[in-house]
Structures are given as C-alpha cells and as structure tokens.
Structure 1
Amino acid sequence: MSLKSKSGKTGVLKKIAFSTSKFALLSFIFLGFLFVLSGVEIGLGLLNHSMESSFFSLWGWSCLEDLKFFFSFILPAYLVYLPLHLLIPRITNIIFKTGLVLFFLIQLSLVFYYNTTLLLLGSDIFGYSLEEITQTVGASGSLSFTPFLILLLFISILIFALVFLPKKIIIKREIGIVLPVTSLLFIGLGISDRLQMANMKSEFESNLIRNKFQHFYTAAYGHFNPELYEVDIYAESYLGDFNSNYSIAEPIEYLDETNYPFLRKELKRDVLTPFFETKEQAPDIVIIIVEGLGRAFTNRGAYLGNFTPFLDSLSNKSLYWPNFLSNGGRTFAVLPSLLGSMPFGENGFMDMEKNMPDELSLLNLLQENGYNTNFYYGGNSEFDKMAMYLKKNKVDRIVDENDFPGSYKKIPASASGFTWGYGDKEMFRYYFDLKKKDPKSPKLDVMLTVSMHSPFITDETEKYELLFEERLEDFGFSEEKKERYRNYQKQYSSVLFTDEALRQFFQEYKKDDKFNNTIFIITGDHRIPEIPMASKIDRYHVPLLIYSPLLKRQEEFESISSHFDVAPSLISFLKNNYALKAPESNSFIGAGLDTTRSFQNIHNIPLKQTKTELIDFVMGEYHLNGDNLYRLTRDFKEEPVQDEAKKDELRNAFNQFKRKNAEVIEGKKILPDSLIRKYSQ
C-alpha cells in the first residue's frame, strides 16, 4: 500500500473519530439535561401533588426510564449524524443542536401537561380539532406563568451548554464509540423490554417517572400505524367469541355477522322489574351524567373519603352499583355507550359524524314510543360532536349554553379567561324553569353536568372551601394528611358543590306532581383525572344509582356492570311493563345490568381510555391494560398478575371486539334498514 493511500485512510479514520467525539459530547449533554428535567418534573410533582415515594426514589426510576429511551435511539441518531458531519460538519452541528432544543421544548410541554392534568398526552391529541384542543388547554390552566418561566430558564441553560461546552470539552474517541456500540447491544438484545418498570405505589407515580416524549412518540406511531383486525373464515375457531367467555343468563346469538357485526337476538333479561312498582302511565326517566364523578371519592367506602354526602344518602334508597365502570376515560364515550350501548368507532362513535351508522338508542326508541326527549348541558353541545349524535338520534330538544337567558350566571372565568359555561346549580335551575313551561309526559331527560371539570371554579368558592375543611375534620385526618388533600382543594370543593346541587335538584323535583312516577339514573362519565389515581382501572370506576319513588326496596349490588348495560336493561323493563315497542334483535354491546349482590363479573367490557387508545379490557375478575394483566379485588383494587395463558384469553376476546369495531369503522351497519325504519321514523 502506498504512503499516500495509508495517509488517506488515516485521515478518514481521524475524521470519523473526530465526528464520533463530537456526537458523543452532544449525546452526553442530551442525557444530562434529560436527567435534570426528570428532577424538575419529580420536584413539580412533589410540590403540587401527594406522593408516598421519596424524591430520590422517583428520580432514580425516572432516570432509568430516560436511559432506556436514550439507548433506544442513540445508534440511529449516530448513523445519521456521522455521514452528515463528515460532509458538512458545521451545518450538521447546527441541525442537531436545533433538534435538541426542539426536543426539550416538546418534552417540557408534555411534562407541564401531565403535571397539570395528570394525563399522559399521547395519540389522543389527533382525535380532537384545533378548537377542542384550545378549549381543553385553556380550561386546564396549563398556560400559566410558572411553566413558561421554567421553560425559558431551562432552554436558556441548554443553549448555553450547546454553544460553549463543545469549545471546552473533548470526548476521547474510545468513549465516543462506546455509545453507539452500547445502543446496538441494547436494541439487538431487546434490553428495554426486559427492564420492567418499577411497581410504584400508585398509577400517578408510575406515570410520573415515564419519559413523556417516548410515551407520546410510541402512541403517535401506533396511531399512524394501527394494528389491523382482519376477519377471516377461521377467526371464530381459534379466538372464541367476544361475549362467550363467561356465562350469562342467556348466551349471545349473533344473527348476521357478515353484514352486521354486532346484530344479535334480544337478551330477555329484565332484571329491574322485581324492584319496581308499576303504574298505568309509563314513567318519566331522568338521566344525570355527572362530569368527573369517580367512585374514589364518592359514597361510603371510597378510598379517598366520601365527598358526596347527599349521593351517599340517596344510594341508601336506591339500586346501587359501587363497582361500576364507564366505558371511556373521557366524556367523548359516555352518550353512545350509556344511551345506545354502541361500539367506539375509531376516535369515538360520535367522531364518525355523518358516517355514524343508524342505531336504535334510548333516545330515538323512546321517542318513537311517545316519549318527549331532551338533552341539557351547561356548556357547548358541539364539543365532542355531541349535538350531531343527539340530532341523529332524533332528540326533541337540545339545551346548551347558547340557550340560557341573561338572568343566568356563567361559571367565573379562569385566569386565562376560559369558562365551560353554566354551572350545575344554574343548569338545574334552568331545567325546572323549562319543565314548568312544558309539562308533557312521559319524558326522557338527559343531563350532563360541567362543574366538576378543570379548572374547577365555582361562584361560591369560600363556602365550599370551608365545607372541604369541615369534611377533612370529619374524616379525622392528621394535619399532614390534610395538607396533602389541600393540594386538590379546588377539585374536592367542586365535588361538594355538585353534590349540593344534586341535593337541591331533588328537593325541587319532589314538588313536581310527576315525581312519584319518575326513574332517576345517576352516574359519572369518568373519574376526575386531576386527583392522582391509584390504579389503571381507577379512571373508569364510577358509581351507578337508580333511584325512584317507584322502588319497592333498596339494594346494593357488588357485581360489575358498565354503561353498556344500562340501555338494554331499561328497554327490557319498559318493554315488559309498558308495552314499549322494541325489536326482537339489536346490536347492543352490553348484556344488561347484573343484579347479583356478591362480587362477580359476567360481562366482557372493552374500555377506551382516550379517543385514540383502545387498550383496556375487563373480563371476569381480570383487567388487561395494554400488555399488562391485573386481577380486580373485591374492594376494586388491582394486583399485577403474571399469567400468559389468562392474558392470551383476554387478548383474544378483546381482539374479537376490535375486529367487529373495525368493521363498523369500515362502513358496516349496526342494524338492518328495515328495523331502523320500523322503530325510528
């Protein structure tokens, strides 16, 4: 080999070594700031929320998550950086340094979002319009001055480090090459998957230590590269049916899955009649969906304490399900699941808009049977496409914030100038004003409250803050525990406000001569996420109360049911007792409420966490969350379970639901046109 060739080869190797050294320095700066930001995030968490683990314990686990993220992408980044730096070193450094600044701007935004809402931002952002995103962010108050100050300080220090440290520090080439080699081993051996996350003491702490950018990227990638659920001729033979794994009173018999994925014979399970007296005239039905009403702080036995004294007293006179589930982690799912027992579609059933398949819901079926149907909401009914869903289901009247007279007061605006509309007391007051002007019966009135929603502002702040303090005193909490609860004073105060609004609602309704022939149904759309959650199932765990002067006795059922089961049970009850005209087949997801007193679950229950995340499934006493399996205990806590056979059983049943749901997304109908024409003109 000539001296010139050797010299050329040596020169290339030196350039590679130099580029590797520069890349290593940028990588170490990146890793160092990842660790610093994790410390900032844990600090914010401790400052604003109640946690059992120590700062250093949480920071250590968070840094481990950062390391997993770091080594997962260092090799790909090096393979991009190296050839570019050999060709255009100055421009490459500018591009990568700018990329690091942009990365931390995104990471900081995701950190602040979680610290405010206690929700990991993922692909759900793609399920909302820009207007809805702006409204939600404005409501959360996450655009305050403190996060902006932290962001400005952090980015300024980062830019300083990226500009001046490369002039002062040189990384040895031996150290530099260790990073991509380690990343290669890390990726090749699947070390990230083998390193399990810590079993933290709460769902909040588990989410706090997660790298927010990695979660967002993973969720976004899954959203744009969805798992497809193709139905083939052998699917039933090896997967089993979605509804056949646990015995119910009557097995599900599907009628035409090729054309109508969910169409089945009616389940003759009228479980409500034994508890009710009946009158000649069909009863009025009032459904109150309480924003954020989680079981965690509702009624006796709530693990956070009972902050709903009125609802607790009402449950003692009701049919009460303490172990009840909403089918969505946010409000988007509640109307289709509760009123129609419908599947989720892609981003929620209502998000299908004009492509929503025709259905027979409580709204249009009862309207066809002579009911006057109404929806009341203190906010904007266009949010989450609610108004479109209601109109498609032939609701007679929608009352929202645009209809309130000037004599009604909106919720006071937050610091950002945002208000959701009219609070629960004002909405109930307006409801009675309208009811007096339109006394028709029978009625189906559906109400969705708004006061228990971020930013948790009422126009009687001092009154309910005082009630909050009295509640803490009644619980006998220590001063240390009281301080932890005060981190969520606004949230708990709003719960007490809504509970009092419900008390006043029933006091007023008792004056109505239709009261004695009315059935009231109260549930939550999901649990308030801004109070840290103890488990994965916590966000869906809501109460269900059915109260009526027509009840012959009170009863509490420890069995598990969900919003999917409400419409089937109500329709069966009305059909058997009031000659309600309803078809002998339907496409309900739910099989009806379980009125077993002991703890059990006969349902297979899919749960959609956000508009884009269908990752939860409950079957029997087990809960599948992503790839994690939990066992539900009688007090509705969760224990991690390592049982691959059981996990496969749930996964297979869940996949069957997903396949059917995917067919609806692709355009298959819910019901034959003949049934729609016959029962919903």
Structure 2
Amino acid sequence: MNLSLLKFIKTEIVCLRKYLAPYMNQFQTFIKKVIPYSTSLFFVFVFSRIFQIINEPKEIFGIPLKPIYHLKGFIMDLMMTLIISSIGMLLILLLRIIIRKTNLFPFHLISILSILINYTLTVYFVQTNQLLGDAFYQLTNSELIISANLDSNLTFLSVSFPLLLIICYFLIAKLIKKFRLRKYVFVVFFLLMISSLIAYPWKLIQSEDYVGDRVINNKLLAFVDVSEKHFFAKNETESINSKTFRELDDSFFPDPSTRNNEYSLIHELKAESEFANFIHKSPKGPPNIVIIIVESLSTFLVKESAKNPCNVMPFMDSLSSKSLYFPNFISSCERTHNVLPAILASSPNPPEKQFMQTEELPRHWSLISLLKNYHSRFYCGVDLSFVNMRDFMDYNQTDYTVNSWEPRFSKVRDGVKSFWGYSDDHLFEKSILDDKKHQNKNPKLDVFLTISTHEPYSYPNKDKYLLLLKEKMSKIKCSPAQKAAIHHHSELLGSYLFTDEALKNYFKKASKKPDFDNTIFFILGDHGNSLLCETEIQRYQTPLLIYSPLLKKSEQFNAISSHNDLTPTIINYLRVTYPELKLPKQVPFFGKELSFEKSFKCERTLPLVSLDSETKHLILNNYMQFEGQLFKINKDLKLVRIKNKQINEKMTKQLSVYQKLARYYHEYDKILPNEQYKQFARHGKKIKLSYAPVDEIDKGSKKDFIDLGQAINIQKKWKRLEIQLEGEIFLTDYDDLKEYAYINFTIEQIHPKKIVLWGSHTAKYQDPPRLKKWNKIKYSLFIDTRKFSSKGELFRVIYYLHNPKLKNIKIRKNSLEGTAWE
C-alpha cells in the first residue's frame, strides 16, 4: 500500500515538473534579462553614495562621520535595489499577462525614476545635512527649492551627473550581459528579493546614533517611509480630549492654574513689568518698537570666540556691550517659517507637519493687532508670498508691507542677481526712505526680516568682504583647523560682515532722526546657523539684543528665554508704563516674559520644530531630547549626552501629548474666543452686514457650488472684510471634515469684469469631534480689502461653498455673519 502511494506521488511530481518546466524556463529567462539591469542599478546607487561621500561635511553636530556609516549605507542601497527590482518584475509580469509579451520598459521606467529621485534626495541631504521629510508635503515646489538652495546649486556637473548615472545604468547592464550566469545566481537573486520584501517593514535604520542614521539610510527609502506615514498615518483626532492634557507637565502652560480651561493659554500678565526696571519712561509717550530678525544669526557670531576668531560682526559685538544682552535665546523652529507667529503672536507650535503661517489661522492676538495706536510696518526683501508671510501680516492688519521698490533699489548688484531678493542694505535704506515719504504722528512698530546671510550668500561687493575676512584672519592667531574652517565657510562668514555693516549704517542714519531717543530696538535671529553649529541646541540658539537710548544700563542675562517670550514682555511693559494704551492684562500667549537672570538657568519648557517641520525636540527641566536621545543642559548651553531611560521615556510621552495639545489649539481654534478676539483684533470702525441663515445647506445640498449670499461691493474706506459661517454637521467618520465643502471667495473687478483674487478655506471644528453626533464647525474668511478700496475701480466679493466630491452638505442651525472694518 505504501509503495503504491509513493509510486503515485513520484509520478505526480514528474508530471508536475513537466507541466511547470516551460514556465520555469520562462521565469529563468525572465530573471536572466532582469539581473544585469538590477545589478547595474545597484552600481548606480553606489555612485550616488560616492557622490554623497565626496560632498558631505566631515562632521555633523561635531560628530565625525565614520567610514562604517558608508559601508552600512551600501547595504541599504542594495536593499533599495532589490525592492525596486521586485516591483519592476511584478510590473513586467502583469504586463505579460495583459499583452502576452515580455517587455522590460516598466523595469527601466521605475529604475530611471528611482535613480533621479535618489540623486535629488542625496543632493538635498548634502545641502542641508537632513533627510527630506514632511517639508516636501508642506512647502510648494518653489519654496522647497529655495529652502534647500537647489536652484543656486544647479551647475553643469550637477545637471549632467544624473544623466551620466542613467547612461551608466544601461552601459553596465550591457557589460554584465556578456558574462554567462550560473544557475545558483538565479536562486540567490530570487532569495535576496524575497528577503528584501520580508525586511521591508524595517527599511529605515533608527538607532541611538541619529547622525549615523542620516548618513546610512538610503535617501529614497527614507523618503518612502516618510510618505507612507504622511498618507497612511492613523488619525488620532479621537484621542484629543481634556483628560489627555492632564498628563502634561505644568511648565507647558504659561499659568498652570488655567490649564483646565477651554482656552488654557489665556492668563493674566504680571502686575509689574520687570523689563520696565531697565528702561526709562519716555516723556514723549509710548516708544517706537523696532524688531530686527536676522537670518541664521547664531549667538557665537556676535562676540569673538573660538568659533568666531575673525569677529565677523564687530558692530553687533559693540552693540551687545551697550544693550540688554541675552546669549541663550532659543528659537521655536529650525526654519524661518514659524518665526513671525512665534515672535509677534507668542503662538504655540502648530500641529505636526504644518506651519502657522501656512495653515488656516486660528484666532489670535499679536503685537501688531494689540498696538492699535501704532503705525505698523513689515520689511522683507523676499517675495512676501513665500510661506504665506503676506497673508499672516495682512491677517494681523499690518498698516504697511513693502510691496513696491523704487528704481534705486535692485535685486541685481555688481551684475549678479540676488537669489532671494533685495539685500539687507537696501532693506534698511527702504525704511529710511519711507520715513521721509510718509510722515506719521503715531509711534511706529517696525519689523525687519533680513535674508543676505542665507545660502547661497549672494550679497553685494562680495570680493570686498572676502578680502576683509582674509585680512582679519592674517591678524589673528588660530589653529590650522580654524583656518581651514574659515576658508571653507568664507562666503558664509563674508555675508555676516556685509549684514553687520548694513546694520551699522542703519543705526547711524536712524540715530539722526528726532524720534531715535524714543525707540527700543530688539535684534535677534530667526534661528541659529545649522552649517556652523557644533551641538544640537545651537541650531536653535540665537542672541537677543535690546538696545535703546532709554536704557538705564547695559547688562547680560544668561538664563534661557525664547521667541515666544518677546511679545508678552513688550506688551506688559507698555501696559504697565503707558496705561493710556489700554492694553489687556489677560492675554492668550504661549510664552512668558523674558527671564532677567544673570546666572545660567533653564526654567523653560520649549517644544522645538525640526527642519522637517515636526515638533520632535524638547527642552524640559535642564534636559534636551533630540532625535530621541537625551542630553543634560549645562552652563552656556553645553550638552552632555546621558542615558536615563525613565527621564527619556517621560520626555517622549510629554512631547507626544503636547503635539495633541497643539492640534487642539490650532485645529479647533482654541487660542482665543471670538468675542475676546474682536476686542483688539481690528483697527477702525466695525460695520455689521445683515445676513440670514442659508436655507439650502440647512436642508442639505449635493450641488458642486452653493451660493451663500449676494455679492458684497467693497466700499472705499474698508480695510478688512470678514465673513463667518457657523453651524453643525453630523459626523460619521473622523475624516469627514477633510472631504467636506470649502468656503471660497473671489474678488471681481466690476468694469471691465475680471477676477483679480481668489481664495479657499476649510472649516474648523469648534470642539474635539464626536462620532455619530452633531458637531459645531466654523468657516472664516478674512479678506484684506485695502488694495481694492483705495483704487478708483469698483470691486466686489463673491463667496460660496465648493463641494468637489458632491457630498450631501447639510449644516444645521447655521448662521452667516459679515463684518467690514474701516
């Protein structure tokens, strides 16, 4: 019986082999065609890795890059090759089923795309020392190119190199085809592909050596991992509630006694202003406020040090000795993108992978909106559409933003066009010229954002400053390593010499004006310079100088303060010293007042936004967590890496809960209630426009465009128009609101008829959403009408709901309100 069974099984196996033989031969032939191109693809990734090795810095955060990083990196490149080969083969098989022909075109297409993308991501890493993260999905193409300076680094070599890689891909494959492959090669190749697919969930190395991880990981694999998280991350909306925030340390709140309130940021300022102890009260009334935000201004660039032996900012150095000087001032973000909300509105960091300047703005107060009696101006040489700067300043109704430049100012200097826009010297000269053109009796609030110290360092008279740097270096004693570093960063250091001189000339001209003796200057950086920093915290460390003829004496304060502390300090000083300004005592600020402690102290809790727009670094109780690693913060912001699992896990948990709190503040509009917001948010006279509930959406509508009301003709004196739609929607899924209708507006010129402006906004929940229940939502439009009301032509605003997915839009208990401001 057993012999018969074995004979039967043997016969069946022989039959099966005969049946499968043609398919196995086809599969072997198929793999034979793929192996040469898969091998050549690996070699191309190796060439990209060599390109990275040649161009990357020798160290990141003072940590030398070890050869072992690149050996491991070649293994990650092999894994990427095998994954792409698996996907390519699958596409070929599918194509064979459809057209019954073996065609390698899908394999070549996916290989060439991977070569180009991996090379681009490698260039990004070389330029920024960062893997490209969610910034890709938050910034526009032009903003991403500018942020990484990719455009300025487009050389013949950088453009031709990827083309050379593609040529190598085909040439190496052609060469490999000449070799006869043994049968075991097919088996090994197939097993490697299967292994790579099994290992796919672990495609990204994440160890304690975060610098090594950046170097080792294949740049395309890392980007795929980020993309997966971006598109398929679990929605945690349901986990946001008041109980969640109880786990947060009290230090996350400006006043712990208000932490359980619906609007937990609202708190009372101190009865007295400590800042007032250092400033004389002016007999001329409230002083002018001038805030100068210098691009990439690291603290160690201000005074002569081992890192700055050439003293590249001598004017700032001399000014610091005449000022209130805070060397340990911390920015909230590694990019410029969040600097205006942090400094001017003391706002908490926005939700993950967002910037407040670019999201639907939650209601908030700012230094500009609160100082209604001041004439506010914003100067920046960059196109103000960059990261939505114009909309943010318009929302706060800045009286003047520089939009037009006189012919005497130019982006082209010395025959070279400035990559970013107008250079710093012209920026300051423009403000001096405007002072002469537009006299204003009110005190002024000027905000400057410089740019010349940003890569690619296209500043005027570059040869002059490079020569000056060379002269400085010849007069000092420095080590060969220091000389090599100065030479390597010569264009960067020269840009600081240029901006320092631009600041010196600005102060020289400003000192001749009659209101100079009644002006307080605040000079700080938007963040540190990542190319020069030696420790992780230096990416955020920037100095703050407060200079004024009203200053009683100069002093240095070494305790940690932050961007978020500036506006609370200024507001409370003006509130206490000049009560005629009628400033509020209750404010919705995330920051506290500056710490005027001479000894080093770290009493701030500061969530920090990384270069890839994630709030993933934290300063808490003399500790810093960076990339999941724990450091002790010692005097002068010296970091010592330590291992303490309990503290590290606590900080990880605190950071996670804070991220939910940030969503609560921003996505549910919980910074400031509507009525309190309106008390100080707008200048001028309020004009109520009459509206009625919208019957169509109360009953439900599936139309793609739903009218909300009649068009509004913009009146000549109007500065601002607000339209607000509130109501309730029934929620069946947490993602419902993402697919819900948008509120759109267009500004239309009446004669001749044409659209001149268009905008779109999403709705916000008013409370953490609940499934299978009615939830309150709000649409808000804030339209700056000044540029249209001042013109002779007639304009009107048309507003409506856009329902692209033709869902049933039902908003019950809805109310529509319009307000114009003169």
Q: Please indicate the TM-score interval, normalised by the length of the shorter structure.
A: 0.7 to 0.9
Match of 1:372 in 2: 375
2:266 to 263, 268, 279: 263
1:71 maps onto 2:75 in alignment: no
Q: Any idea what the Cα deviations from partners look like across 1:617-638, whole Å, max 9, x if unmatched?
A: 2222222234333333323343
* CA pair 560-195 structure 1, distance change in 2 beyond 3 A: closer
Displacement of 1:59 in angstroms is 4.8
For 1:179, the equivalent position in structure 2 comes to: 192
**How many residues are treated as equivalent by the alignment?**
660
1:420-439 equivalence runs, <5 A: 420-437=420-437, 438-439=439-440
Contact 1:287 1:447 in 2 (8 A): yes
Q: Work out whether 1:659 is the aligned partner of 2:664.
A: no
CA distance in 2, matches of 1:639, 1:28: 44
- Once the two structures are TM-superposed, the CA of residue 524 in structure 1 deviates from its matched residue by 0.8
Q: Which of 554-563 and 575-584 deviates more?
A: 575-584
Alignment of 1:328-477 (within 5 A): 328-346=333-351, 347-352=354-359, 355-367=360-372, 370-399=373-402, 402-412=403-413, 419-437=419-437, 438-477=439-478
Question: 1:556 aligned to 2:593?
Answer: no
Partner of 1:295: 299
Is 1:97 matched with 2:104? no
Q: Distance in 2 between matches of 1:231 and 1:61?
A: 41
Deviation at 1:571, TM superposition (A): 0.9
2:656 partner amino acid:
N
Give the partner amino acid of 1:548: S
The question of whether the paired residues in 1 share the 8 Å contact of 2:204 and 2:222 is answered with: no
Kept in 2: contact 1:261–1:660 (CA 8 A):
no
Shift of 1:93: 3.5
Does 2:319 match 1:314? yes
Taking the aligned partners of 2:177 and 2:640, their CA distance within structure 1 comes to 49
**Aligned pair 1:591/2:598, yes or no?**
no
Letter in 2 for 1:336: P
Contact 1:254 1:264 in 2 (8 A): no
Q: Which amino acid aligns with 1:572?
A: N
Preserved contact between residue 133 and residue 612 of structure 2 (Cα < 8 Å): no
* CA distance 1:240–1:143, change in 2 (3 Å): same
Quick one: structure 1 residues 36 and 63, their matched pair in 2 at CA, closer, same or farther if it must change by over 3 Å?
A: farther
Distance 1:296 1:70, change over 3 A: farther
Structure 2: distance between partners of 1:44 and 1:492: 20
C-alpha change, 1:125 and 1:600, in structure 2 (3 Å) is same
Shift of 1:567: 0.7
- Report the Cα distance in structure 2 between the residues aligned to 1:477 and 1:542, rounded to whole angstroms: 24
Q: Could you tell me which residue of structure 2 aligns to residue 284 of structure 1?
A: 288
Q: What is the deviation of 1:671? A: 0.9
1:590 CA displacement: 1.0
- Quote the Cα distance in structure 2 between the aligned partners of 1:302 and 1:227: 47
CA distance 1:194–1:465, change in 2 (3 Å): closer
Match among 128, 132, 139 for residue 128 of structure 1: 139
What amino acid sits opposite 1:65 in the alignment? Answer: G
Deviation (angstroms), 1:21: 6.1
What corresponds to 2:767 in structure 1? none
Give 1:646's aligned residue: 647
Q: CA 1:633–1:286 in structure 2 vs 1: closer, same or farther (change >3 Å)?
A: same
Contact kept in structure 1, 2:275 and 2:569, CA below 8 Å: yes
Query: Per chain length, whose mean CA-contact separation is higher, i.e. which structure has more relative contact order (CA < 8 Å, sep 6+)?
Result: 1
Structure 1 residues 118 and 496: alpha-carbon distance in aligned structure 2, compared to 1, 3 A threshold:
farther
Distance apart, 1:669 and its partner CA: 3.9
Which piece of structure 1 moves more, 118-127 or 73-82? 73-82
For residues 577 and 160 of structure 1, what CA distance do their matches in structure 2 show?
76
- Which amino acid in the other structure matches residue 404 of structure 1? W
Whichever residue aligns with residue 230 of structure 2, its letter is H
5 Å matches for 1:440-589? Answer: 440-479=441-480, 481-529=482-530, 531-579=531-579, 580-589=581-590
Opposite residue 220 of structure 1, the aligned amino acid is S
Cα distance in 1, alignment partners of residues 60 and 583 from structure 2 = 50
**Gapped regions of structure 1 (runs ≥ 5):** 201-205
Seen in structure 2, the aligned counterparts of structure 1 residues 24 and 632 have a Cα distance that, compared at 3 Å, is farther
Partner of 2:232: 225
TM-score for the superposition, normalised by structure 1: 0.87
Please list the CA deviations of residues 324-366 of structure 1 after superposition, one character each: whole Å capped at 9, or x if unmatched. 11112222111110000113435211112xx312211100101
Change (3 A) 1:268 1:19: farther
Q: Give the conservation status (yes or no) of the 8 Å contact 2:44–2:168.
A: no
Deviation of 1:65 (Å)? 2.9
Match of 1:45 among 13, 34, 56: 56
Q: Deviations over 1:605-625 (max 9, x none)?
A: 122224743322222222223
Q: In the TM superposition, what is the alpha-carbon distance from 1:498 to its structure 2 partner?
A: 0.4
Give deviations 1:50-107, integer Å, cap 9, x for gaps.
99898xx745412313424643784686377369549839646332233122111111
Kindly state the Cα deviation for residue 426 of structure 1 after the two structures are TM-superposed: 1.6
Shift of 1:140: 4.7
Structure 1 residue 552 displacement after superposition: 1.8
584-593 or 191-200: bigger deviation = 191-200
Choose between structure 1 and 2: higher helix proportion: 1
The corresponding residue for 1:203 is none
CA distance in 2, matches of 1:634, 1:301: 16
Instruction: Tell me, in whole angstroms, the C-alpha distance in 1 between the residues paired with 2:269 and 2:385.
Output: 33
Unmatched 5+ residue regions in structure 2? 1-10, 683-822
Aligned equivalents of 2:84 and 2:463: distance in 1?
Answer: 56
SS at match of 2:520: strand
Q: Name the CA distance, whole Å, in 2 between partners of 1:380 and 1:60.
A: 44
Question: Which protein has the bigger strand share?
Answer: 2
Query: Which amino acid letter does the alignment assign opposite residue 434 of structure 2?
Result: L
C-alpha separation in 1, matches of 2:80 and 2:472: 48
> In 2, Cα distance between the equivalents of 1:294 and 1:167?
57
Offset from partner CA, 1:512-538 (integer Å, 9 cap, x none): 222222111001112344x35433333
Letter aligned with residue 284 of structure 1: N
1:62 matched to 2:65? The reply is no
Contact 2:145 2:151 in 1 (8 A): no
RMSD value, Cα: 3.3
Which amino acid letter does the alignment assign opposite residue 594 of structure 1? Answer: S
